[in-house]
Structure 1
């Protein structure tokens, strides 16, 4: 994997590893990734037609030996520190998309918290916000 990725692609990789962690990328998770890319300012100017190829490249890396470790290193190397909490928020959003967080998704979230050295207060705020956004009547 010699080809560098953009900051936006690194954020897509974060969302993909959460979605793929339980070996099932649900329609709700995929829709959330698409919606996030279309809506958030961090993706301004990013061509949404590039989401699927970026997700496929991430999937290809995940198939390699130590693929998850490689993706985490790649993402950590590409993202500026000011976007670590954004990346974690996107990961939580995808994990919460289908209203059920699997153990594998929780493991990926833990790996991201560790990789980004996020403090407990930031993590709690992001997770609480996702709970509030996904609550139904």
Structure 2
């Protein structure tokens, strides 16, 4: 099933992985994915109607043998280095959407940071920004 992804598909995969990592995709997380796809310049020209199919494709990749590792590599290969921090920021946005960060989400963020070669200071800044945006 492994195939190459477009940049936009890879960014959606990151958000779907983060939403599904705890095996429960909340309405808040799904709504946040839709909002980000409609709002962010990275998704300009993207057909929002493809979100469900891309989510299914991502779930199928994750369910395959060594699914998480293979999916992370597909995402890394699809994204130029300039979008690595963008992908990480999208993952943080989805993790923060329900205002609870679970251990599984923290672990996936660590895997993304390592896979993308992001420094801890950049990641901390992205995480701190999300905390500020979602604070009540």
Identify if the C-alpha distance between structure 1 residues 43 and 99 changes in structure 2 by more than 3 Å, giving closer, same or farther: same
TM-score between both structures, scaled by the size of structure 1? 0.97
Following superposition, the deviation at residue 4 of structure 1 comes to 2.4
Give the number of aligned pairs: 136
Matched, 1:101 2:105: no
User: Following the alignment from structure 1 to structure 2, what is the Cα–Cα distance between the partners of residues 75 and 5?
Assistant: 7
Matched, 1:69 2:69: yes
Following superposition, the deviation at residue 2 of structure 1 comes to 4.6
After TM superposition, the runs of 4+ consecutive aligned structure 1 residues lying more than 6 A away are none
TM-score between both structures, scaled by the size of structure 2? 0.98
Structure 1: where are the runs of 5+ without partners? Answer: none
User: Following the alignment from structure 1 to structure 2, what is the Cα–Cα distance between the partners of residues 3 and 121?
Assistant: 33
User: Following the alignment from structure 1 to structure 2, what is the Cα–Cα distance between the partners of residues 39 and 17?
Assistant: 20
User: Following the alignment from structure 2 to structure 1, what is the Cα–Cα distance between the partners of residues 88 and 4?
Assistant: 21
Matches within 5 A, 1:5-44: 5-44=5-44
